[in-house]
């Protein structure tokens, strides 16, 4: 049974969510301030954190930064609708996905399930459990490790899945729909830039290719392609 931490200063909402999620079979803990949320989740007893951006004291971004420096626990951000910049900052800081608040609890549960399933599912389906090596990048699905030139690269679960899918199809086009469905576990919503943000995080973390070029090419409006260096 998955253990979920809700970090939100709205105690009444926490109670309602607690009831809803408990009925869905989750165990729920609530934290009403940023500091206590960060401490609780870093204790390592939770499978997922639902993190509201608007928190007293440490705000959601501060918590995200603090947690990501020590842990890759799945995090679902709750952002205010219309605040696209919040989403982008959240995804950049390593949130796995976001949901606009207020959201329907059905949608919330669906997202929680996808993220937890993905995190628990050690080898992503696209790799058949084999260690993938493309150029200087090595991806081990079993341990969810990514190694570039001997350095371990810290990726979030979502970023790992996106990279795994791209590497698994190196030299081929992977559409944004495929990435969204296979990595975020949902149909792409129009005007949603999550995949693009994850890809841009991966680019930043991996740095340029050994020949100085792009590792991942953007194919105008359709999707992405990992540039196959050693002729995969």
Q: How far apart are CA 178 and CA 23, in angstroms?
A: 32
Smaller CB separation from another protein, 152 or 220? 220
Smaller CB separation from another protein, 87 or 118? 87
Figure out which of the listed residues 3, 25, 43, 106 binds another protein, where binding follows CB under 8 A: 106
Q: 123 is written with which tokens?
A: 């080898």
3-state secondary structure of 84: helix
Check: CB of residue 91 under 8 Å from CB of residue 201.
yes
For residues 71 to 100, the per-residue mask of contacts with another protein, x marking binding by CB under 8 A and - elsewhere, is ---------xxxxxx--x------------
Q: How far apart are CA 132 and CA 161, in angstroms?
A: 13
For residues 6 to 25, the per-residue mask of contacts with another protein, x marking binding by CB under 8 A and - elsewhere, is ----x-xx--xx-xx--x--
Nearest to 140 by CA among 109, 167, 116, 117: 167
State yes or no: residue 222 binds another protein (CB under 8 A).
yes
For residues 46 to 65, the per-residue mask of contacts with another protein, x marking binding by CB under 8 A and - elsewhere, is --------x-----------
CA 2 to chain centre: 17
Burial class (CB in 10 A: 0-12, 13-18, 19+), 160: buried
The nearest distance, CB 4 to another protein, in angstroms, is 14
Smaller CB separation from another protein, 69 or 222? 222
Q: Where are the beta strands (DSSP E) in the chain?
A: 3-7, 27-31, 48-52, 75-80, 97-101, 132-134, 137-140, 145-148, 151-153, 174-175, 216-219, 223-226
Figure out which of the listed residues 188, 200, 203, 228 binds another protein, where binding follows CB under 8 A: 188
State yes or no: residue 140 binds another protein (CB under 8 A).
no
Contact region with another protein (CB under 8 A), list: 55-63, 90-98, 184-192, 202-210: 184-192
> Could you tell me the end-to-end alpha-carbon distance of the chain, in angstroms, rounded to an integer?
40
Query: Can you say whether the dihedral through the CA atoms of 146, 129, 223, 182 is positive or negative?
Result: negative
Helix (H) or strand (E) holding 106: helix 105-120
The nearest distance, CB 177 to another protein, in angstroms, is 9
State yes or no: residue 218 binds another protein (CB under 8 A).
yes
The nearest distance, CB 106 to another protein, in angstroms, is 6
Contact region with another protein (CB under 8 A), list: 59-67, 101-109, 110-118, 156-164: 101-109
Which residues contribute to the site for another protein (CB under 8 A)?
Answer: 10, 12-13, 16-17, 19-20, 23, 54, 80-85, 88, 101-106, 176, 188, 190-192, 218, 220-222
């Amino acid at each position: 049974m998955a253990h979920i931490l809700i970090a939100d200063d709205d105690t009444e909402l926490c109670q309602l969510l607690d009831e809803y999620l408990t009925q869905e079979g989750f165990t729920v803990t609530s934290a009403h301030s940023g500091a206590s949320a960060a401490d609780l989740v870093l204790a390592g007893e939770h499978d997922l954190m639902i993190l509201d951006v608007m928190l007293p004291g440490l705000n959601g971004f501060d918590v995200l930064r603090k947690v990501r420096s020590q842990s890759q626990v799945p995090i679902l951000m709750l952002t205010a609708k219309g605040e696209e910049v919040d989403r982008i900052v959240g995804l950049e800081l390593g949130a796995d996905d976001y949901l606009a608040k207020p959201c329907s609890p059905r949608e919330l549960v669906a997202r929680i399930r996808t993220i937890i399933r993905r995190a628990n599912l050690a080898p992503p389906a696209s790799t058949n459990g084999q260690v993938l090596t493309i150029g200087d990048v090595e991806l081990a699905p079993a341990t969810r490790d990514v190694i570039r030139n001997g350095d371990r690269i810290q990726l979030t679960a979502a970023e790992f899945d996106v990279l795994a899918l791209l590497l698994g199809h190196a030299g081929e086009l992977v559409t944004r729909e495929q990435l969204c469905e296979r990595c975020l576990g949902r149909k792409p919503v129009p005007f949603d830039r999550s995949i693009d943000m994850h890809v841009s995080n991966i680019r930043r973390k991996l740095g340029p290719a050994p020949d100085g070029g792009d590792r991942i090419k953007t194919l105008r409006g359709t999707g992405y392609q990992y540039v196959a260096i050693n002729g995969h």
